[in-house]
Amino acid sequence: MKKLINTILAITIAVTTQLTAFSNNIDKIIFKSGINKSAISISVKDAKTGKNVYKLNEHQPKMPASTLKLVTLAASLDTLGKDYKFSTELYKSTNNELYLKLGADPFLSSYNLKNLFVAAKDKNIYEPKTIYIDDFIFDDVEWGEGWQWDDDLNPLMPKFSSYNIDKNLLNIVITPSSIGSPANISLDKFYPVTFMNMVTTGDHNDIVVARNNSISQDIINVQGTITKRAVVSIPVNNPKRYFKLRVEDAIRSVKLGYYGKFPQKKLPASNVYLVEKIEHSIDDAISEILKNSNNLVAESVFKAAGAKYVNNTGSQQNSIDMLNAYLDKININHENIKIVDGSGVSKNNIVTADFMSNFLCAMSSNENYINSLPTPGEGTLAKRMLYFKDKLHAKTGTLSDVSSIAGYITTRNGKLYAFDITINDPKSKNSEKKSLEEYIIREIYSSL
């Protein structure tokens, strides 16, 4: 018995010594980085037991950036189900009316939309009395709370709505002319904007695009120089208008014989039949959200889950209620956090490292969840931490002044740890923040 007690005591001392050395090493790494310690929050836990192995400012509220997608996507998938599909459907009534029922599909393209009306023509549908649009899947709020007005030209932050199509982006095509002369500017698809063309044909490409909000949101300033063709993408200012223009393109291309407007109306419960539908799998969304950190897809999935949660029109509040119910379901305390969108774009999102690591520990028994996260060489980790290979599954996050990373690491000794590292610091460079993250993760891998 005494020998057993001594053995247990020796193991306890060894583990304690190991953890102390590990903590000291992390502290040294942070000190050498030069980043203010108060700007950093870290929580590292044994994924299976939830036991803390390192913590720093773990209860301090921080902006999570895109690591928030780890939480909002899991909740959305629990609500939507693994077989969920975004669906855009065309119906015909017995009164020769067409109904275009929108599904807020973030993958829908103009080509897909045209195929719906090709199917109508193939079924000998011509000259419908009216083409209605059922857009009631989402409300009319197109941007998240706290999104930055000066990011309205950021192609990574387009508006999202029932009218999602072509990634909600305008593609500005700029082609050179003769040296010293103005370049040619056009759109790949018609949309009513005015370009203030200040681009000169020169010996290199250097294009700056700005929206002249003081006069009109549909006046776009384009300036700089160009030597070879360039395409610049900017968010569509009015997605509903853009979508209806693409519907017009589609019905003109198949000569459907309709020249009216597209009033809003819910699809009737009877006296209609399905003409055709376009679907995209939730699996496509999972990959885009976690690996490519696609904000449009993340917000569309989050809002769609909110719509299903209330079995009604989706709104941000419905989505947040859905998320809170999910966190209660898996016993994660969320009293001291604030989540306002599905992507992490908003700087009004506030979470703690302890909340994130608790959430990851709760999800650690779900191998599909862990394996869906990017590993080094994939997505936003395409050029980072390649030496970890399949030992690391993590989601990154980046906003101005913010860098974060959260996920799982299997250490050299084969143990699985959940971690969250969030740095909210305006004084350090983004590269310095990400370098610190990598050194910390390397220490977790090698020392635990």
pLDDT in tens, 423-448: 999 999 999 999 999 999 999 999 88
Residue with tokens 């870290």: 42
- 242 is written with which tokens? 């853009």
Residue 14 pLDDT greater than 70, yes or no: no
Q: Which of 102, 107, 106 is nearest to 88 (CA)?
A: 102
Q: Considering the domain boundaries, does residue 233 fall inside one?
A: no
What CA–CA distance (Å, rounded) separates 322 from 305? 7
Is 352 inside any structural domain? yes
Answer whether residue 151 is part of any domain: no
- Whether 294 is in a domain gets the answer yes
Q: What confidence tier does 12 reach under pLDDT thresholds 50, 70, 90?
A: very low
Looking at residue 17, its pLDDT comes to: 60
What percentage of the chain has pLDDT greater than the value 70? 96
pLDDT of residue 312: 96
Question: Looking at the domain assignment, is residue 133 inside a domain?
Answer: no
CA distance 76 to 299: 10
- Per the domain annotation, does 264 fall within a domain? no
CATH of the domain at 363: 3.40.710.10
User: What pLDDT does residue 113 have?
Assistant: 97
Q: Say yes or no to pLDDT of 10 above 50.
A: no
Neighbours of 391 (CB within 10 A): 18
Residue at 267 is within a domain: no
* CB-CB neighbours of 3 under 10 Å: 7
Q: CA 39 to CA 51: how far, in whole Å?
A: 24
The whole model's pTM is what? 0.93
Q: Which of 166, 96, 170 is nearest to 132 (CA)?
A: 96
Residue 186 lies in a domain: no
Structural domain total, the chain: 1
pLDDT of residue 218: 83
pLDDT band at 3, cuts 50/70/90? low
Tell me the residue range of the domain where 347 lies. Answer: 22-80+284-447
**Which of 302, 301, 336 has the alpha carbon at shortest distance from 318?**
302
Q: For the segment 173-214, what is each residue's pLDDT rounded down to a tens digit?
A: 999 999 989 999 999 999 999 999 999 999 999 999 988 777
| Residue 81 token pair | 């189900």
SS3 of 273, please?
strand
